Chain A
Amino acid sequence: MKEQYQQFLPFLHQRLASRPRGFDLFSRELLSAFVRAFDDNTKTVYVSGYAFPTELLWAFDMVPFDFEIACNNLPAATSGHGSTLMKISEGKGYSRDICAFDRLIIGCQLDGQLPKGDPYLTSSYYCHGKAKANEIVARSEGRESILFDVPNEISSASIKYVGAQLEEIAHKLEGVVGKRMDLDRLKEAMRSSNRSRSSLLEINELMRCKPCPWDGVRAGLLSLAAIFWGSPVQERINGMLLREIKERIEKRTASPESSRILWFPWVPVQQTNIFTILRENRVSVPMVEAAYVWWSELDEDHPFEALARKALENYMVGPADRRVKSLAKMAEEYEVDGAIHFATPACHHENAAFRLIRDAFRAKGLPVLNLEGDMTDERNYSPDQTASSLDSFLEIINERSKNQ
């Protein structure tokens, strides 16, 4: 894995040197983090960045290793050959009914591709599959998997429970790095996160412009590989993106659009024909659900409580009703002509909410497409079927936007 990611770095360095772009900076920093995770001299902490308040990790001298993103963005996975790694875990009895993301992670572990970590953090929210995959990987290394357990309700009791876990995790991290956490450093990480939050809010506000000045799909990818929240890296990424977007608006260089759609929830990692078809039809994606700012500003005076609240306020935590209202609000704010739900198999909590979301959208007269595919397993993806589904949907969308 290390070598595979290392080979991309010179190219990204060069791109950034010649034409600095926020997404390229994000890519370079992410891949650099993956590579550093293998160094013997670094302390590597396994985490799912989108499901953990990473501000805590940036208070320590550690390298966060997002094992899900690292495994599922390997060239094999992104180029349509993810099954080569999945077959390794399937051969050991892990069913194809398990999420492809998790099969690929276990496949990487069995193939000896993963760095050593300490600790192996995982979270109960979003889904239970990744927590199980993390546990299996940690166990194979003779390590403990630490579950950050986040209930599906916000109350003083749940804030206390989640906050206590964060304090316990901080204590464990102190043990790993061999020194006490610097509270000022944590507070600075929280301030940094708040600054990044402000810039993301600004970005998201600009994304309402017509035509859409950036690719919401890329914003979604940024939000899912979220290990830099709390680090100045995220501030730089957001800062660059903001400048680019403003420039595109000022110079009117945004790609023309004939319609807009809201995309939820996940963006497939493997190569697909989806976004080519959308581009060819001048369909812009101003917002992807994952890129929305769903959490409150962090109160640095009560750090563990604030980080607990951030976890509990996550859009994938709590009753589906929260998501339904939030998505309906997004659809309105971004004046979309329709919505696409990317349904990856085995994503139980998410797919099972679709009917509720669809009904809410239909009540507003908004067409919704349930686009079946797979995040990573090319065996579950049909370009022809996808093209056919999208063509029919886009006809409806175009008709709708003409009539408005």
Chain B
Amino acid sequence: MSEPSIDIGSRKIGWLCSFVPEELILAAGLEPIRIQGRVDAIEQAGGYLFPKICPYVENLLDSGLRLKLDGVAGMIFANSCDGMRRLLDLWRQYVSTPFSYMLEVPKNLTEDAMTYFADRLLDLKNSLEGAFGVEISESKLKQAIYVMNEHRSLVARIFEAQKEDPPRYKGSELLSILSAEGTRPKGEMTPLLSDLAMGRGATGSGSKRGIRLLVLGNRIDRPALFDMVEKAGGSIVVFDTCNGLRHYTELVENSMAPLEALARRYLLKPSCPRMPGFEARLERVKLLVREFRVQGIIYSALKFCDYGLFETPQVEKLSKELGLPALVLEDDYVWADIGRSRTRVEAFLEMVRSKLG
């Protein structure tokens, strides 16, 4: 099948959570933009929220209140957590975005859950069509699935090269690439990803043999952690976060009705701590440790993220069982407290180094 061209146009739709199918946005002829928090310090959101709230949610609200999301015609939220749920409530009341939608995402993985999620995707589809006066035909949806599947496959190949010794790319480079994949037009990104998957554009900067690290956690948009690890002689060979490998794993099936296929793929992809079932995630950690020959784990969770806070003792326990050093870091999304984190990262890497002899 030749690569279809999708006329994206300039109507941007912001989305936040890994459960939101970009395919629907693309098929509507709109441009999906994965929204990152755009402020470095909170100025207004504090008056709307409370101190112990997710810093990503706080940053998003502040960004919205200060109109730093110009040009976004709509926002698609997902009911990924309590904080996100309330962000939409506050967004609708205090931030002016022409279109906003809350995508309900089941927490169970039963057939009933798949059916329900497919129904919600149909509702999202209808809402986009109604709001933007477009038609999301089955053929457009299949084209969009093709594009996203291609991106997923390319990202998988790029990460595959990280299993090499030394890994082909620095972790910070991969973070930058994936950030661009989520925020730039898909048409622009496809050739770039292809080049990277083929090894073209490798700067050789992955050639320094650093301690091979796996980063787990939720949302990491800023490169601070990656930069400090690399400066201290570490090498983040893989990161399985909300915007890391986990987001790109599993393809959408072509053999079934598109909405059903999307529902299955998005629910059945490697789970995040939002979903019940620690065991599956811990098994995935073991797999990644093995495949990427990881020598240490960094669990980076947004401060006050309940899902992260409940999960870290399980990961720490697993790390001990695997005989792997683990470092748990809590961050404020913008990594303002970089000095303290740097000290901890350096100490951690020293410890791993001495363990490895």
Which residues of A come within 8 Å of B, CB atoms? 92-95, 97-99, 102, 124, 127-129, 131-133, 135-136, 139, 145, 147, 149, 151-153, 155, 157-158, 160-161, 164-165, 168, 319-321, 343, 345-346, 348-349, 351-356, 359
The chain A residue sitting closest to B273, CB to CB, is: A132
**CA of A131 to CA of B87, assembled, Å:** 21
Q: Is the CB of B104 within 8 A of A152?
A: yes
Q: Is the CB of B309 within 8 A of A98?
A: yes
Q: Is the CB of B104 within 8 A of A153?
A: yes
Q: Is the CB of A94 within 8 A of B309?
A: yes
CB distance from A363 to the nearest CB of B (A): 12
The chain A residue sitting closest to B310, CB to CB, is: A132
What 3 pairs between A and B have smallest CB-CB spacing? A352-B86, A349-B82, A93-B313
Q: Does B344 contact A (CB under 8 A)?
A: no
**CA of A126 to CA of B145, assembled, Å:** 35
Stretch at the interface among B11-19, B110-118, B201-209, B347-355: B110-118
| Known interface pairs A93-B312, A349-B85; A147-B108 also in contact (CB < 8 Å) | yes
* With A346-B304, A348-B83 already in contact, 18 other A-B pairs whose C-beta atoms are closer than 8 Å: A97-B303, A124-B107, A127-B82, A135-B276, A151-B79, A151-B106, A152-B104, A153-B102, A157-B119, A158-B116, A165-B112, A319-B89, A346-B52, A348-B52, A348-B54, A348-B82, A348-B306, A351-B53
| Known interface pairs A98-B306, A352-B90; A93-B316 also in contact (CB < 8 Å) | yes
Q: Does B257 contact A (CB under 8 A)?
A: no
Most A Cβ at <10 Å: residue of B93, B115, B274: B93
| Known interface pairs A128-B81, A321-B89, A352-B83; A94-B313 also in contact (CB < 8 Å) | yes
Interface residues of B in 158-207 (CB under 8 A from A): none
| Known interface pairs A161-B116, A165-B112, A352-B50; A128-B93 also in contact (CB < 8 Å) | no
Which residues of B come within 8 Å of A, CB atoms? 47-50, 52-54, 57, 79, 81-83, 85-90, 93, 102, 104, 106-108, 110, 112-113, 115-116, 119-120, 123, 274, 276, 278, 303-304, 306-307, 309-310, 312-313, 316
Question: Could you list 9 examples of A-B contacts with CB < 8 Å?
Answer: A93-B312, A93-B316, A149-B107, A168-B112, A321-B89, A343-B50, A348-B82, A353-B86, A355-B49
CB distance from B202 to the nearest CB of A (A): 39
**CA of A351 to CA of B79, assembled, Å:** 17
**CA of A95 to CA of B93, assembled, Å:** 32
**CA of A152 to CA of B86, assembled, Å:** 11
Q: Is the CB of B90 within 8 A of A132?
A: no
| Known interface pairs A132-B306, A319-B89, A352-B49; A149-B108 also in contact (CB < 8 Å) | yes
CB distance from A4 to the nearest CB of B (A): 27
Which of B88, B93, B306 interacts with A346 by CB under 8 Å? B306
Most B Cβ at <10 Å: residue of A98, A168, A348: A348
| Known interface pairs A128-B81, A352-B49, A356-B93; A92-B313 also in contact (CB < 8 Å) | yes
Q: Is the CB of B312 within 8 A of A135?
A: no
**CA of A165 to CA of B88, assembled, Å:** 27
The chain A residue sitting closest to B120, CB to CB, is: A157
Which of B87, B89, B104, B312 interacts with A158 by CB under 8 Å? B104
The chain B residue sitting closest to A126, CB to CB, is: B82
Q: Is the CB of A351 within 8 A of B309?
A: no
A-B contact count (CB 8 A): 126
Contacts of A164 in B (CB 8 A): 110, 112
Most A Cβ at <10 Å: residue of B49, B88, B116, B304: B116
Q: Is the CB of A151 within 8 A of B50?
A: no
Q: Is the CB of A356 within 8 A of B89?
A: yes
Q: Is the CB of A97 within 8 A of B309?
A: yes
**CA of A345 to CA of B274, assembled, Å:** 20
**CA of A307 to CA of B122, assembled, Å:** 26
Q: Is the CB of B113 within 8 A of A149?
A: yes
CB distance from B52 to the nearest CB of A (A): 5
Contacts of B49 in A (CB 8 A): 351-352, 355
Q: Is the CB of A351 within 8 A of B50?
A: yes
| Known interface pairs A132-B306, A346-B52; A320-B102 also in contact (CB < 8 Å) | no
The chain A residue sitting closest to B89, CB to CB, is: A320
Contacts of B54 in A (CB 8 A): 348
**CA of A93 to CA of B320, assembled, Å:** 13
Contacts of B88 in A (CB 8 A): 319
Contacts of A351 in B (CB 8 A): 49-50, 52-53
CB distance from A355 to the nearest CB of B (A): 5
The chain B residue sitting closest to A133, CB to CB, is: B310
Which of A133, A152, A158, A354 interacts with B85 by CB under 8 Å? A152
Contacts of A352 in B (CB 8 A): 49-50, 53, 57, 82-83, 86-87, 89-90
Contacts of B83 in A (CB 8 A): 348-349, 352
Q: Is the CB of B93 within 8 A of A354?
A: no
Contacts of A348 in B (CB 8 A): 52-54, 81-83, 86, 304, 306
| Known interface pairs A93-B312, A147-B276, A149-B113; A345-B108 also in contact (CB < 8 Å) | no
**CA of A129 to CA of B278, assembled, Å:** 14
Contacts of A155 in B (CB 8 A): 119, 123
The chain B residue sitting closest to A370, CB to CB, is: B50
Contacts of B119 in A (CB 8 A): 155, 157
Q: Is the CB of A151 within 8 A of B306?
A: no
**CA of A98 to CA of B52, assembled, Å:** 10
CB distance from A312 to the nearest CB of B (A): 11
CB distance from B79 to the nearest CB of A (A): 6
Q: Is the CB of B86 within 8 A of A128?
A: no
**CA of A127 to CA of B102, assembled, Å:** 17
**CA of A133 to CA of B278, assembled, Å:** 12
**CA of A3 to CA of B220, assembled, Å:** 48
| Known interface pairs A352-B50, A355-B49; A131-B276 also in contact (CB < 8 Å) | yes
**CA of A346 to CA of B120, assembled, Å:** 29
Contacts of A359 in B (CB 8 A): 93
CB distance from A101 to the nearest CB of B (A): 12
Contacts of B304 in A (CB 8 A): 97, 346, 348
Q: Is the CB of B89 within 8 A of A129?
A: no
Contacts of B312 in A (CB 8 A): 93, 95
Contacts of A93 in B (CB 8 A): 312-313, 316
Q: Is the CB of B89 within 8 A of A160?
A: no
**CA of A155 to CA of B115, assembled, Å:** 13
The chain B residue sitting closest to A122, CB to CB, is: B276
Contacts of B303 in A (CB 8 A): 97
Q: Is the CB of B278 within 8 A of A139?
A: yes
Which of B50, B104, B307, B313 interacts with A354 by CB under 8 Å? B50
The chain B residue sitting closest to A127, CB to CB, is: B82
Contacts of A132 in B (CB 8 A): 306-307, 310
Contacts of B102 in A (CB 8 A): 152-153, 319
CB distance from A52 to the nearest CB of B (A): 15
Q: Is the CB of B310 within 8 A of A161?
A: no
